[in-house]
Structure 1
Amino acid sequence: MSKSEVYNNSESFNPKKYSKTFLSLSSDAEPLARELTRFRLQQLHEFYEQHGPQLTGCRILEYGGGPGHVYPLISAAPYASEIVFAEYAEQNRKVAEEWRSNKSEALDLTPLFQHVVSSLESNKDENAVEQRETSVRSLITQIVPCDINESDALRDVTLPFDVVSTHFCLVTAVASVEQYTLGLQKLARLLRPGGMIVMTESIGGTFYRVEGKKLHNLHLGSTEVVQQSLVQAGFTNVSMKTMKRPPSELNDIVEYAFVTAVLASA
């Protein structure tokens, strides 16, 4: 099946079931997925805690955001002036719009907000979680289509951005390390010089499953491959934090890497 047939077909990829599988802190969730969710939220919190002050007023692009995956924006919101949410699949953009519009059928992402705001930020104000959700909703000014395999990875959006945030997007969309590096080059063109890319990548895997269906995941043999691709794409100051894990029925990934880098000035 083509990428369009996979991700625009709820029979092969169900956006809400994906979210319940891979983005849950519930005690009922698969333990490995729950651990990964905590890892991602922790690393994003630490990144914005460190770099947020210098990014105050920044424009953020969430690229390949999937079905309403605003979790990378929870820690970012206090420093952002605008967020553009870009996603390839129409059905995923619909789920994202349901959440932004606060519709009754929207994904319940409140537990993720609670973890970040109440636990990681130690904000005990009873209104703080709701206020952060409202803030993220208001900061997302556009939900737009994107395709990393097109010559223009993003169209009809004002450039440049100060931060490009992308998590498990390229590895599910491209077929080779060469295409992966080219994709990073395309993302670099969306950033201002000195802007930052924030990523979570999977290492060593070839697939992941949603409701038993096996989906493509590009095999990146090591974190060094990611670093080399970023450098070739024009990035510097590459920083990584990793979490190793055994393969499971969900996927055959052996390591996750939270990666940040700075686009070199011309």
Structure 2
Amino acid sequence: MASEQTETSSYDNFNAKSYLKNNYRMRPDGIPDSHEDWMPWLLNNLKDTFAGGKLSGERLLDVGTGPAIHNLISAAPYFPNITCAEFCQENREEVEKWVRGENDAFDWDPFIKYVCGLEGEGAWEARQVALRDAIQQVVFCDVREENLPEALNGGPYDVVSSIFTLCGVAKDKADFDGIVSNVSSLVKPGGTLILVCDLEATHYTDGKVSFPHTYLEASYIRQAVRNSGFVDVKDDILVFRSIEGLNWDGTGYIYLTARKSSE
């Protein structure tokens, strides 16, 4: 498979376990512990997006899954065929460990319990099983691949999600535009894109290594999505009051959903 690995070679140094330890913790009251409560904000938005089977179809692709599965918990009851596409091998291995239920896998049970609580669903163990069953593939993905559907051995998907990834790998705004356009080819006409991005950030860290970040405003992200053939663009913005002590220098996050035009 052709890939511009040199474009993102710094991710060879990404430390998945350090990233998980630094970013995925629970408070004693069972609520995700995160700066400005960004994690509850994200999980609640995902809950609302998938609630009651609002999105139709069976196949979901998550682009840039990283070593985490929290963003797929609400999707599992409605999308029995989930593909996790990720550039970094160490991240893919972390997801695969969890799917197989290995002892040294990261413990996502508290997050599954929390999401099921948001949804009013008490049977979190059943959701854990459903999510493990739903994750059909964990595959390599380079978002700059010229023909992504062919590279991923699959046609357009009903839903494509990408959480904090496209903004993080883009070298500049023009590169972000190209990546969004490329990923849009993975969404079937009438399908849904879920995109979460950092706002106005220049760098972030996994706890040990610092990674550059392209400065993106909310208006620019919305327009890039529209330019890639999407309509019904809707978003929710979380504005941070302070970033003191944070491993990132942005001003907030944007949670965006859009429908791929059928025309």
Q: CA deviation at 1:30?
A: 9.9
1:8 corresponding residue in structure 2: 12
For the pair 1:113 / 2:112, whether they are aligned, the reply is yes
List aligned pairs for 1:34-49, cutoff 5 A.
35-49=37-51
- Of residues 99, 121, 124, the one that matches 1:123 is 121
Structure 1 spans left out of the alignment, 5+ residues: none
SS in 1 for 2:25: coil
What amino acid is the match of 1:184? V
How far apart, CA to CA, are the structure 2 residues paired with 1:5 and 1:178? 19
Q: How many correspondences in the alignment? A: 255
SS in 2 for 1:80: coil
Change (3 A) 1:19 1:3: farther
Q: CA deviation at 1:120?
A: 0.3
- Of residues 240, 243, 254, the one that matches 2:238 is 243
2:166 corresponding residue in structure 1: 170
SS in 2 for 1:166: strand
How large is the RMSD of aligned CA atoms in angstroms?
Answer: 2.1
What amino acid is the match of 1:123? E
Cα displacement string for residues 209-245 of structure 1 (whole angstroms, at most 9, x for unaligned residues): 222432122110x210011100111111110101111
SS in 1 for 2:201: coil
How far apart, CA to CA, are the structure 1 residues paired with 2:219 and 2:8? 30
- 1:22/1:34 contact within 8 Å kept: no
2:69 corresponding residue in structure 1: 70
Change (3 A) 1:97 1:31: closer
- 2:59/2:79 contact within 8 Å kept: yes
How many percent identity over aligned positions? 28
What amino acid is the match of 1:103? E
- 1:23/1:33 contact within 8 Å kept: no
- 1:162/1:196 contact within 8 Å kept: yes
Q: CA deviation at 1:7?
A: 1.9
Superposition TM-score, scaled by structure 1 size: 0.89
Q: CA deviation at 1:205?
A: 0.6
How far apart, CA to CA, are the structure 1 residues paired with 2:19 and 2:109? 17
SS in 2 for 1:8: helix
How far apart, CA to CA, are the structure 2 residues paired with 1:116 and 1:30? 10
Highest relative contact order (Cα 8 Å, sep 6+), 1 or 2?
2
How far apart, CA to CA, are the structure 2 residues paired with 1:103 and 1:169? 26
SS in 1 for 2:26: coil
Q: CA deviation at 1:152?
A: 2.8
- 2:191/2:260 contact within 8 Å kept: yes
What amino acid is the match of 1:251? W
1:82 corresponding residue in structure 2: 81
For the pair 1:223 / 2:224, whether they are aligned, the reply is no
1:138 corresponding residue in structure 2: 133
SS in 2 for 1:35: helix
SS in 1 for 2:197: strand
How far apart, CA to CA, are the structure 2 residues paired with 1:241 and 1:263? 19
Q: CA deviation at 1:22?
A: 2.0
How far apart, CA to CA, are the structure 1 residues paired with 2:251 and 2:213? 12
Change (3 A) 1:30 1:134: closer
SS in 1 for 2:243: coil
Structure 2 spans left out of the alignment, 5+ residues: 1-5
